[in-house]
Amino acid sequence: MIDKINELLAEIDNLKATKADEIEALRIKYLSKKGEISNLMNDFRNVAAEQKREVGMRLNELKEKAQDCINSLKESLENNQSTDQGIDLTRTAAPIELGTRHPLSLVKKEICDIFKRLGFSIAEGPEIEDDWHVFSSLNFADDHPARDMQDTFFIARSPEVVLRTHTSSVQTRVMEKQQPPIRIICPGRVYRNEAISYRAHCFFHQVEALYIDKNVSFADLKQALMFFAKEMFGTDTKIRLRPSYFPFTEPSAEMDISCNICGGKGCPFCKHTGWVEILGCGMVDPNVLDNCGIDSKVYTGYALGMGVERITNLKYRVKDLRMFSENDKRFLEQFKNAY
C-alpha cells in the first residue's frame, strides 16, 4: 500500500487543469467516495498491525495534499477569470467619450434631495394604473374633463385601465397601506393625450409631495414651499400663492416664484409680471383621506406637485420641451458641468 500511496503522491504533484470541468474530474478521481484515496482508506483495515501507524500517516498526507492541490487549481482558475473579465477585447482602441446625466435627471434628483432634507422619503408606483387610484379615490367626479379621451390614455379601450396622468396615484396607494404620519415624495413619468409642441408633450415628469399627520396646517405647507424655493432657486427668491382649484385639495393654490431671470423686475420670460408659476398645492381634501381609509376627523395633510420639465426650464432656460426627449447629443453635452 505504501507503494500505491507514493505513486498517487507523484501523480498529484503533476496535476494540471485549465477548466472548471477538468478540476471537477480530478476531484472525483481522487477525493470522491469512490475515488482513489477512498479506496485506499477502505483497504486500510487489511494492513498489518505493525504498519498501520506509518500507512495511516501517509494516507492523511496524501488526502491533505490532494485537497490542497484541487483548491489551488480552483483559486488559480477564478483569478484568471476575474482578470479576463476586466478586458473587453471588442473595445475600440480610440478613446471612449464619457456621457453625461440628462438635465431632467439632474433636476429631479435636486428636487428629491431638497425634500429629503425635510424628512420626506421616496415612494414609487406603476405607470399603468386603474381608475380608482388615478381618479375616483382623488375625488374626481364621474363627469370630470380629465376622464375624457382628450386628456387620458386608456389601455385596450378599457375605461378602468389607464396610463397615469399624475403621480398622485402613488399617494393613494401609500395612504391605503399606511397610517399617518406619512411624509413622501413621488417622482415619476406621467402621460396625457395632448398635442406635442414646444410647450407641451404627451409624456412628462412630475414630483409630488404628501404630508399627513395630526394638526398639519396650511402654514406648514407654506414653510415647506418657502424652503424649497430658496434651496432650488436661491435665497433671494420670493413666493406668491394664488387661490386655485384641484379636486383632491381644499383649499387649493398655485405657487409663483419671483422670476429668477430678471429678479422680479419684469422680462419677456415672465411676461413682464415678475412672477413665474411652478407648482400647485393645497390641503388634502377630507374625502380623499376617507376614501383611502384615513380618519379625516383626526388627521390633516397637504399635497403639492410640480412638473420637472417646468423647473428645468426655469433653471437652464430651455425653451422647447421636445428637446428633452430627442436625444440630441449637441443639446445633452451642454449639461456636462451641471453637477
pLDDT in tens, 313-322: 888 888 788 8
Say which range, 103-112, 155-164, 271-280, has the weakest mean pLDDT.
155-164
323 in the same domain as 245: yes
Question: Is residue 91 a part of any domain in this protein?
Answer: no
294 in the same domain as 182: yes
Q: DSSP 3-state assignment of 315?
A: helix
Question: Is residue 98 a part of any domain in this protein?
Answer: no
DSSP bridge pairs for 211: 183, 302
pLDDT over 60 at 80, yes or no: yes
**Local confidence band at 61 (pLDDT 50, 70, 90 cut-offs):** confident
Question: Is residue 95 a part of any domain in this protein?
Answer: no
Check residue 286 and give its pLDDT. 94
> What spatial distance separates the first Cα and last Cα of the chain, rounded to whole Å?
73
Total structural domains within the chain: 2
Radius of gyration of the chain measured on its C-alpha atoms: 34
pLDDT over 90 at 329, yes or no: no
pLDDT over 70 at 172, yes or no: yes
Check residue 113 and give its pLDDT. 94
217 in the same domain as 76: no
pLDDT in tens, 295-305: 999 999 999 99
80 in the same domain as 193: no
Mean per-residue pLDDT for 164-173? Answer: 92
**Local confidence band at 112 (pLDDT 50, 70, 90 cut-offs):** very high
Mean per-residue pLDDT for 89-99? Answer: 76
Mean per-residue pLDDT for 255-283? Answer: 85
Number of C-alpha atoms within 13 angstroms, CB side, residue 206?
Answer: 26
Check residue 150 and give its pLDDT. 61
User: Rounded CA gap, 276 and 245, in Å?
Assistant: 18
User: Rounded CA gap, 100 and 123, in Å?
Assistant: 26
Last residue of a domain, which of 22, 50, 85?
Answer: 85
Check residue 42 and give its pLDDT. 77
CB atoms within 10 A of CB 102: 15
User: Rounded CA gap, 137 and 324, in Å?
Assistant: 32
Residue 251: what are its φ and ψ, rounded to 5°? -75, 160
171 in the same domain as 54: no
Check residue 131 and give its pLDDT. 86
Find the helix packing angle between 2-13 and 36-43, rounded to 10°: 160
114 in the same domain as 51: no
Check residue 213 and give its pLDDT. 95
DSSP bridge pairs for 244: 252
**Local confidence band at 89 (pLDDT 50, 70, 90 cut-offs):** confident
Check residue 86 and give its pLDDT. 62
pLDDT over 70 at 187, yes or no: yes
Question: Is residue 94 a part of any domain in this protein?
Answer: no
pLDDT over 80 at 249, yes or no: yes
Residue 42: domain span: 2-85
Question: Is residue 37 a part of any domain in this protein?
Answer: yes
Query: C-alpha angle with apex 264: 258 to 268, nearest 5 degrees?
Result: 105
12 in the same domain as 39: yes
DSSP bridge pairs for 19: none
Last residue of a domain, which of 85, 119, 153?
Answer: 85
187 in the same domain as 266: yes
Q: DSSP 3-state assignment of 333?
A: helix
142 in the same domain as 211: yes
Looking up residue 115, the CATH number of its domain turns out to be 3.30.930.10
Check residue 29 and give its pLDDT. 81
56 in the same domain as 193: no
pLDDT over 60 at 83, yes or no: no
Average of per-residue pLDDT values in the chain:
85
271 in the same domain as 178: yes
Question: Is residue 183 a part of any domain in this protein?
Answer: yes
Tell me the CA distances in angstroms from 58 to 2, 193, 199, one per residue in order: 8, 82, 85
Tell me the CA distances in angstroms from 207 to 155, 168, 204, 244, 302, one per residue in order: 24, 9, 11, 19, 14
Question: Is residue 36 a part of any domain in this protein?
Answer: yes
User: Rounded CA gap, 30 and 255, in Å?
Assistant: 78
81 in the same domain as 107: no
Last residue of a domain, which of 26, 53, 85?
Answer: 85
Residues in the chain: 339
pTM: 0.68
Question: Is residue 97 a part of any domain in this protein?
Answer: no
pLDDT over 70 at 85, yes or no: no
Check residue 339 and give its pLDDT. 59
pLDDT in tens, 211-236: 999 999 999 999 999 999 999 988 98
